[in-house]
């Protein structure tokens, strides 16, 4: 982690960071010229060959083709950028872009742009509508149709949908400070891996004893915005309820039979009910009861949910009140907690399970050993800064779920490419 001390003709000299830690010198020193050349020019011909293999008019309705082409396009950008350009992108462009989008979203710029069928509007017109000054209109990700004149894109139109747009002010106000302060926190704690949910990077950054969920719920509208953000996060991602993913009829519904008393699916920590509502829609004739559980502040915020789904306030760190359910389901719950807290959550569920009948379905990322998807690795970084937790590899999941004190065994894992969505099925040992 060296810094430059001179001009473009100089070399990089090793210096300790501002916290006083000692950083090894690079020997021999790296010439600054390396930062002004493409990051990986040797890779460019092969990347272009891979891109050309998609043809002149690839079918972008095919998600596998679209994602494959997108990955190669990112590879090409990374290879062509110089290290200096990548640094400026990380340090200036990305924070600046996020700041501009959040400010414009809070002000209502994108809603004004989307009005009248998305017709072009001058900056003075937007400012007049919003009763603000043209100088405060920070623009980004929009079409420039003339001098001081702009039109929306599909991206900025989507920002007017709360489950897409609310992620920006939510994370700006209740999350990103933890990312900014993370290097400082790590230096103060001798770079030990954070595992303390009561005194981790988040608590350090926000000067609070609350976890992120508690902080956001007590600093509204952050809590409501976060619930919307989770709905946006799940959009377009593979679902274990999709055909060909997990055999629901065979491994879940079939064993319930015609009983209406059995709890078929308990969605533990299920937020506003996005997943269990999807299950009910896809399997409207499934026997048994459907139950959604979360903290009172979340359950009470639900505005619309099929009456067939029972709402139940419950803290998953305490005893599970629904006994003998066919399946206890958790989507992106355990990645919010370090292993010792996950162990407690799992023990509460295991204590409620009926041997030979009940199962736990865990819907999470499984990080592959190599070529992990960027969404999963980005989320991994967010987990450690916000929750002192992490995304887990397959071996991590086995160590956690099959620990003797938990009492579970993994009977199957169903995944899509790169582990961006997986379903782990567990039973009692």
Report the catalytic residues.
335
| Residue 121, token pair as written in the block | 């509007």
Angstrom distance (rounded) from CA 339 to CA 346: 10
Cβ(416)–Cβ(240) under 8 Å?
Answer: no
Looking at the DSSP assignment, which residues form a beta bridge with residue 327? 265, 359
| Cβ atoms of 185 and 201 closer than 8 Å | yes
Q: How many CB atoms lie within 10 A of CB 308?
A: 12
Sign of CA dihedral 55, 58, 64, 69: positive
Closest CA to 135 of 143, 123, 145: 123
Distance of alpha carbon 277 from alpha carbon 300, whole angstroms: 16
- 307-314 long-range CB contacts below 8 Å, 24 or more apart? 308/280, 309/273, 309/276, 309/277, 309/280, 311/273, 314/268
Tokens of 143: 């079409």
């Amino acid at each position: 982690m060296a810094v430059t001390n001179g001009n473009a003709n100089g070399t990089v000299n090793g210096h300790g960071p501002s916290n006083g830690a000692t950083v090894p010198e690079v020997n021999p020193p790296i010439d600054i010229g390396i930062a002004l050349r493409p990051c990986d020019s040797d890779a460019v011909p092969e990347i272009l060959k891979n891109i050309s293999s998609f043809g002149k008019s690839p079918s972008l309705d095919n998600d596998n083709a679209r994602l494959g082409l997108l990955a190669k396009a990112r590879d090409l950008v990374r290879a062509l950028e110089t290290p200096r350009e990548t640094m400026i992108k990380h340090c200036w462009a990305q924070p600046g872009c996020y700041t501009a989008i959040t400010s414009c979203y809070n002000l209502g710029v994108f809603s004004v742009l989307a009005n009248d069928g998305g017709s072009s509007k001058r900056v003075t017109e937007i400012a007049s509508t919003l009763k603000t000054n043209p100088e405060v209109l920070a623009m980004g990700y929009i079409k420039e149709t003339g001098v001081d004149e702009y039109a929306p894109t599909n991206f900025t139109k989507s920002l007017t949908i709360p489950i897409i747009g609310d992620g920006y002010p939510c994370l700006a106000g209740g999350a990103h400070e933890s990312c900014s302060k993370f290097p400082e926190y790590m230096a103060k704690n001798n770079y030990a891996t954070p595992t303390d949910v009561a005194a981790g990077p988040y608590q350090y950054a926000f000067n609070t004893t609350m976890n992120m969920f508690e902080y956001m719920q007590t600093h509204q509208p952050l809590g409501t915005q976060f619930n919307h953000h989770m709905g946006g996060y799940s959009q377009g991602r593979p679902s274990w309820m999709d055909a060909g993913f997990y055999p629901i009829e065979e491994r879940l519904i079939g064993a319930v039979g015609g009983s209406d008393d059995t709890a078929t699916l308990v969605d533990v920590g299920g937020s506003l009910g996005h997943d269990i509502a999807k299950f009910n829609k896809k399997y409207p004739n499934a026997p048994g009861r459907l139950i959604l559980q979360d903290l009172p502040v979340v359950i009470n915020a639900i505005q619309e949910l099929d009456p067939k789904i029972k709402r139940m306030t419950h803290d998953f760190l305490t005893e599970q009140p629904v006994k003998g359910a066919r399946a206890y389901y958790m989507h992106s719950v355990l990645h919010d907690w370090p292993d010792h807290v996950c162990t407690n959550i799992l023990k509460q569920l295991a204590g409620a399970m009926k041997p030979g009948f009940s199962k736990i379905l865990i819907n999470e990322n499984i990080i592959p050993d190599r070529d992990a998807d960027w969404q999963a690795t980005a989320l991994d970084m967010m987990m450690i800064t916000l929750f002192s937790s992490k995304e887990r590899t397959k071996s991590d999941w086995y160590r956690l779920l099959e620990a003797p004190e938990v009492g579970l065994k993994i009977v199957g894992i169903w995944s899509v490419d790169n582990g961006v969505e997986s379903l782990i099925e567990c039973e009692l040992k």
